[in-house]
Structure formats: C-alpha cells, structure tokens
Amino acid sequence: MKTEEEREAHRRFVQALQHEHLICAKPGCGGAMEIADQTPHAARIKTYEATCERCHAAEKIAGREQASPPWDLASITMMAEVHLLHEQPACPYDETPITFISLPNPRRKARYRLLCYYCGRHAEMNWPPPEAKR
C-alpha cells in the first residue's frame, strides 16, 4: 500500500469486509452503498460489488492476491494470541483484519484456519497449545 489511492481502496475493502457503512465515492453524492459479496467459490481473496442506492454507481472492491512471502510462525502465533484475547488480529503485511475459522477437531484440539481475505495468505494451526489452557 503505497499510493493514497491504494490506501483508500484498502480502506474501502476493510469496510466492506467488516460490513461497515460504505458511502458512495462520487463527488457530491454521499449515498449509501449496497454491498454484494461476489467472491467466487474457493477464492482466497474477497470480491465485492458495491452499488450506490442514490446514483446507482457501481464499484468493484477486491483484495489483491499476494502469497509471498508467506506468514512466518511468529506472526501466526501473534495473530492467534491476539484472537485469544478477543481482539481483532491484523495481517502483518497489509493490516487487514484476519478471519478465524474453526475446523472440525478430530482429536479434541481446537484447530483453526487463519485467512487474510485481502492478500489471500492463510494458515492452519492447532490452538491453544497445552500451556495456554485455562
């Protein structure tokens, strides 16, 4: 995220991802936007189509897939720890809030998939490790 334009595009992506109120970007409009999730099945990044309820302008809001370098173990552990504290962890590369999905746990361990819907980075892990149990 370097240019102001990219920063703004990322900001709108995060708003769509978190189901926040999105306002039409057309000068002088300010209408509320209806957001439809158009992510193809099995895609790693999210794609939304936002439509202004007032001027009917359409806007495509999508992540930018970037898989390398992948998350290292330290950042995965850090994100899981933040999640465990009931706070929102963010992708260390692009600061997008990451998504935790609980997976079926065959051995009674919590297993999670961590996903960043902006860059498509993802990881799976067992959590918590035994020493973190309360």
Q: Which residues lie near Zn ion (CB under 5 A)?
A: 24, 26, 29, 31, 52, 54-55, 57, 91, 93-94, 96, 116, 118-119
- Pick between residue 17 and residue 91 the one whose CB is nearest to Zn ion: 91
Residue 13, H or E segment: helix 4-17
**42 close to 94: Cβ distance less than 8 angstroms:** no
- Pick between residue 93 and residue 100 the one whose CB is nearest to Zn ion: 93
- Min separation Cβ 38 and Zn ion, Å: 19
- Min separation Cβ 26 and Zn ion, Å: 5
- Min separation Cβ 121 and Zn ion, Å: 5
- Min separation Cβ 133 and Zn ion, Å: 29
For 131: left if phi > 0, alpha if psi spans -120 to 50, otherwise beta; the answer is: alpha
* N- to C-terminal Cα separation, the chain: 39
Question: From CA 125, how far away is CA 87, in angstroms rounded?
Answer: 18
- Pick between residue 57 and residue 84 the one whose CB is nearest to Zn ion: 57
